[in-house]
Structure 1
């Protein structure tokens, strides 16, 4: 295993030397946008290594210091990173165009501006050096990258895992009438409630067939009637990597689940994920893992003009961004929805609780256990994915990472069943900035901190996330440090003749 502390200090020294001629040293920043899934953890990690972001008038102020951060600007170099959480779907557009004008409206959960350095909006960003995405790079993304002429402008598209996290199902705590849920089961270790949902129950709710809190399936799982009234399932309306992780898991896990059509119709129907990929090809897009789905409350017809059927009569609602989704769950009687665990109890003080789910191990071995969405459970889930890149040609291909970096149905004991990587997408080649602010260096130094610092690992755990497993870190650093294919500023390595991204 590489000495990550040595890597961090070496990279940090490189950063210091590279900006030594810049009189606005403290104003040297990197800029990114994308996934809301890791936004709070990213902000705390960025603030701990660099200067704390102060926000701007009308924008969120400084985020509270992470409990395991001993002090802001731990690198001693000043500067920082600004990250605009806009969703994974938007991230891919921003990376492909290298155009900050394409950054959408960011979530207000974390500061993404800083008036003290003159950045009051994303239009003030000094370029875009990276994006975050929970949705893996697809063949369509590579086609769009190549069609835009990006290999000649920016080099390869680089995709590497940033952290591991669970997608938790949080719930309001009341039934559809506003009465408190009657939860009798004990709360498991690491969980935030005693609400247990079997795979059949999750699939039935998401497919719109388990529609009431007094459904017999829920009653049997939880030792009595939980409540009455409608279950309102809240989903993301925007292009979301969290939706990809959620739907990619359920597309596999639900394919053989069956049950009654609803509480008043005993006809046996499939509980397979019915909501099709919003970007899928016509005439009939398929139901699969995607960053936006054809949910019945949002799209009466799909992109091909086919009616979106909700045969079970489930109740759905939608919101853009994880923060807005969680707020809608909190304000809607009988609601539940999905977001990363840092938006719910026990990670978020005062947040809403989360349900415990069955893993494949629990189902196969009839353990009777239900798994809470914890960093340990997510880490166990992703431990079954071990990368195999026989050569650099394979390693430099983002699709090879995408293919091996998803676990839609984890099989190891104590796995949390809806887990995944959130990814960093970046350029191979970076332009030299005339103003001396070469954001790539600041971002590259932060990657070393994220991957190699025990302090960073503690901050991840406190936010409900886990560190990338060692086999993936080894492959990540093999790519990052390759002299011909690794990321570099123009004029170096494989970027000798490429202008690079700004």
Structure 2
């Protein structure tokens, strides 16, 4: 089995403004537990600032609303500056927590720096957001599309250029494919989605896709560039015979391809995406508070969608006495609670963590010390 991982900093080219959601609910009582309904106590008050991966933006918006509904005197801000920016701000102490599409390593000294920031203790790294990266398409007359790994790689590497090419026809024997040029759309900005997608291509079809995992699309492969996920979705939707890649929650009414896994073709559902963590090994040699995965893109496990973005929360195992640590613990507790995971799935289309994994990460958050 060939397992791969995303390790480098992922920083989108444009940092968006911070998300600020006003409290909108009644004064509900909560116990701060992360093993059931989640949420913090209504006695909590103050402002919590965090940020990082833009992939989590929609889910963070949902979690903020849910958390503030239970804690109306708390304001939570999440700034989707990108994974690298989030990690940098966490390490500097500007953020008490961060979201990241990559776990910390010492390739650029980040893990050591984060340990120093946490006063000598290894930082917490826990999965909180799983989403399929959908292959979106807009081809007239094609309502269902299957793509094997090699075929998908050939399209985005510029080696398969016609929709009725024999490789696509072999995957779709019952489809009426047009004799038309393929218009592949990619991200023009530095992107965690691009790196996760190209990491998949590298793992499953390295003889076709020869550039490895990249944050920035290689210009020699051509295609149409678009800024951000919304730009790719818009370009595919308004384009002719177009295909692209984007977070599945933002695919809208566009067609989404089924991807070959073993003998089957699997659709990008949240449930199928969540299964990849069940079949992927954890990174060895990590601290007990670090639950990070080397995604097994080559899995043959039935019903598993293999093109997935897994995002993490980064925090410290202890904080000085004060509101910031209390709020960070309570908010992270809500995110990994059953209620929080359901909120993210319902409002942002993310895949909930399995109950076994959710319980494990909730225990890590519960153990955060404040004061």
TM normalised by structure 1 equals 0.60
Deviation, structure 1 residue 449: 2.3
Change (3 A) 1:137 1:386: same
Q: Which residue of 1 aligns with 2:302?
A: 413
SS at match of 2:357: helix
Q: Tell me if the contact between 2:33 and 2:40 (Cα under 8 Å) persists in the aligned partners.
A: no
Greater Cα radius of gyration, structure 1 or 2: 1
Residue among 210, 221, 224 paired with 1:274: 210
| Count of matched residue pairs | 340
Residue among 141, 144, 155 paired with 1:182: 141
Deviation, structure 1 residue 225: 4.6
Residue among 124, 129, 154 paired with 1:163: 129
Q: Which residue of 1 aligns with 2:50?
A: 32
CA–CA separation in structure 2 for the residues paired with 1:135 and 1:149: 16
Deviation, structure 1 residue 6: 6.8
SS at match of 1:37: helix
Change (3 A) 1:227 1:208: same
CA offsets 1:85-133 (integer angstroms, 9 cap, x no match):
23323323332333xxxxxxxxxxxxxxxxxxxxxxxxxxxx4222212
Q: CA RMSD in A?
A: 3.2
SS at match of 1:230: coil
Deviation, structure 1 residue 146: 2.9
CA–CA separation in structure 2 for the residues paired with 1:456 and 1:6: 11
Deviation, structure 1 residue 204: 0.6
Residue among 159, 162, 180 paired with 1:212: 162
CA–CA separation in structure 2 for the residues paired with 1:421 and 1:147: 23
SS at match of 2:200: helix
> Are 1:354 and 2:256 an aligned pair?
yes
CA offsets 1:425-465 (integer angstroms, 9 cap, x no match):
223444556xxxx3443332232223223474254155332
Q: Which residue of 2 aligns with 1:424?
A: 313
Gaps of 5+ in 1: 20-24, 51-72, 99-126, 175-180, 184-192, 256-269, 276-286, 297-309, 346-350, 363-368, 493-502
Change (3 A) 1:6 1:246: closer
Deviation, structure 1 residue 46: 1.4
CA–CA separation in structure 2 for the residues paired with 1:148 and 1:76: 29
Q: Which residue of 1 aligns with 2:23?
A: none
Q: Which residue of 2 aligns with 1:84?
A: 79
Deviation, structure 1 residue 144: 3.6
Change (3 A) 1:337 1:394: same
Deviation, structure 1 residue 467: 1.5
Deviation, structure 1 residue 76: 4.3
Deviation, structure 1 residue 34: 1.9
